[in-house]
């Protein structure tokens, strides 16, 4: 255990760092199994993620498959992998499109923001504030060019598409997609959204 865990359950005085996540134990401090299995680091604070609903899980699986199938050879879609945004921020997006060369390295536990072309977050009830406000801000600050937010409406996915404006460094909305998603960036991609959850 690293010295940061000597302060558990309080954070260390200097806050958690991205490197601490690679040293998390398998069990919790009282022997709880998989205690640290679903944890992110946001601005130096550990964020424990709630269990996924089936809707959420299906979208992750189907979106990842469709993106990977349609991506050009130099890109690959991955899911539930961390991205390092700075020394104190390492979220675990639902899925990303990254450099294929980075995806081929099976020893990786996270990717650098410069390797990421698209981040997709699927909003769950416990993550609304993070996925709508905090995470997009951090992804844009790190220079990730594309961000999609997926929300549920009457049991169907709605995709909010954003592109980073290089002049301002913030995301600009480029479309809200119901039923069907078709975009040209970061590569030509098209999908029937309603089929993703059937």
Q: Rounded distance, CA 43 to CA 134, Å? A: 10
Average pLDDT over residues 49-64: 89
Could you read off the pLDDT of 96-126 as tens digits, one per residue? 999 999 999 999 999 999 999 999 999 998 8
Across 21-25, 68-72, 89-93, least confident range? 21-25
* Predicted local confidence at residue 20, as pLDDT: 84
pLDDT at 3: 66
What's the pLDDT tens digit per position in 17-32? 898 888 777 777 777 7
Q: Is 92 helix (H, G, I), strand (E, B) or coil?
A: coil
- If you count them, how many residues does the chain have? 198
Q: Is the pLDDT of residue 90 over 60?
A: yes
Is 43 or 150 the better-scoring residue by pLDDT? 150
Is residue 17 within 8 Å of residue 46, measured between CB atoms?
no
And the tokens for 192? 């029937």
Per-residue model confidence as pLDDT tens digits over 140-185:
999 999 999 999 999 999 999 999 999 999 999 999 999 999 999 9
**Is the pLDDT at 5 greater than 80, yes or no?**
no
Q: Which two tokens stand for residue 64?
A: 């990842």
pLDDT of residue 1: 43
The pTM for the full model equals 0.90
The answer on pLDDT for 51 being more than 80 is no
Distances (CA, A) of 40 to 24, 86, 167, 182: 11, 13, 29, 31
């Amino acid at each position: 255990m690293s010295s940061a865990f000597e302060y558990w359950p309080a954070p260390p005085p200097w806050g958690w760092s991205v490197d601490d996540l690679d040293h998390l134990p398998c069990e919790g401090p009282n022997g709880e199994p998989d205690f640290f299995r679903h944890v992110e680091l946001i601005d130096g604070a550990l964020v424990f993620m709630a269990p996924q609903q089936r809707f959420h899980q299906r979208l992750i699986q189907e979106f990842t498959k469709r993106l990977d199938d349609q991506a050009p050879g130099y890109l690959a879609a991955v899911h539930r992998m961390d991205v390092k945004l700075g020394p104190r921020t390492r979220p675990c997006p639902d899925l990303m499109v990254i450099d294929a060369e980075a995806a081929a390295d099976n020893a990786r536990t996270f990717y650098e923001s410069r390797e990421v072309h698209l981040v997709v977050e699927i909003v769950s009830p416990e993550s609304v504030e993070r996925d709508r406000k905090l995470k997009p801000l951090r992804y844009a600050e790190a220079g990730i060019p594309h961000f999609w937010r997926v929300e549920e409406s009457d049991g169907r996915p709605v995709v909010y598409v954003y592109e980073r404006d290089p002049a301002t460094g913030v995301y600009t909305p480029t479309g809200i997609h119901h039923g069907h998603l078709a975009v040209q960036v970061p590569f030509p991609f098209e999908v029937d959204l309603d089929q993703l959850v059937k």
